[in-house]
Amino acid sequence: MRAPVKTLAAVLAAMSASACVSLLPKSDPAVLYRFDVDPVGGEAQAPANQVGLLKPPARFPQASAGDRILTVTGGQAAYIAAARWVAPASVLFDEAVARGFDGNPGAARLVTRGEVARADMALRLDVRTFETVYDSGPEAAPQVVIRVRAALTRANDRSLVGERMFEQTVRAGDNRVGAIVAAYDQAVTTIVRDLVAWTNQAAAG
C-alpha cells in the first residue's frame, strides 16, 4: 500500500488528450481502497420538523465513475497502476453522502425509495470533477480535485429551492497511493459536511 505511483510518460505522450489508458499491470493484483470518511455528526436527537429528501444516485463523469483511480497530467489522462477502489467511485461517494445524512443533527434526512416517510424535496448531485491532478509534474505529489453541483427542488412542483457548487482541492502528502487516497478522504469528508450543512439551511428556509 506504500508503493509509489508510477506513470508511463512515453505512453501518455502518444495518446490523444481525451484518451484514458490503463496502467494496471496484468501480472500484479490490484490493491483495493475505499473512502474513510469521518462522520458528519454525532448521536444528537433529530429535530421534530424533519425534511425528507429523495436523492437519486449522483451523476459522475464516465472516466472516474468506475473503480479505477483517474489521474490527469496536462492534457493526458491515465489510471494508477495496481490500485482500485473497492467499489465504483460513484457508489462509494453516494455511500459517503448517505453516512453524512445519517449523522446529521439538522432537519434534513434522506428518504429511501419505497420508504413510507414522505419526501418533501429532491436533492440531485452532479459530480463534475473527481480526479488526481499532477499539476507539478509526474513525480511530484499530486492534488485531488472534486467538484460537485447540488440542486435542491421541491417534490410537489419541482421548483428550485437552491443550488450550489461544492469544490475541494487537497494536496497529497507525497506521490504514493496511500497519500492520494488520504487526500480523497479529506476532500470527500469536507464536501459531505458542507453539503449537509447547506441542505439543512436551504431546506429550513
Fold of 19-204: Rossmann fold (3.40.50)
Q: How many helices (H) and strands (E) does the chain have?
A: 4, 9
Least confident of 6-15, 101-110, 126-135: 6-15
Please report the pLDDT score of residue 30 as a whole number.
75
Closest CA to 143 of 196, 73, 94: 73
Which residue in 58, 28, 33 sits closest to 126, CA to CA? 58
User: Residue 125: in which H helix or E strand, if any?
Assistant: strand 121-133
Report percent pLDDT > 90 for the chain: 61
How far separated are the first and last CA of the chain, in Å rounded?
46
The per-residue pLDDT for range 20-75, each reduced to its tens digit, is 444 444 435 678 988 887 666 555 555 667 889 999 999 999 999 999 999 999 98
Given a contact cutoff of 8 angstroms between Cβ atoms, the answer to whether 33 and 85 are in contact is: yes
Query: 177 or 34: which carries more pLDDT confidence?
Result: 177
For residues 92 and 98, give the distance between their C-alpha atoms in angstroms, rounded to a whole number: 10
| Domain range list for the chain | 19-204
Nearest-angstrom CA–CA distance, 30 and 85 = 9
Computed over every residue of the chain, the mean pLDDT equals 84
* Three-class SS state of 32: strand
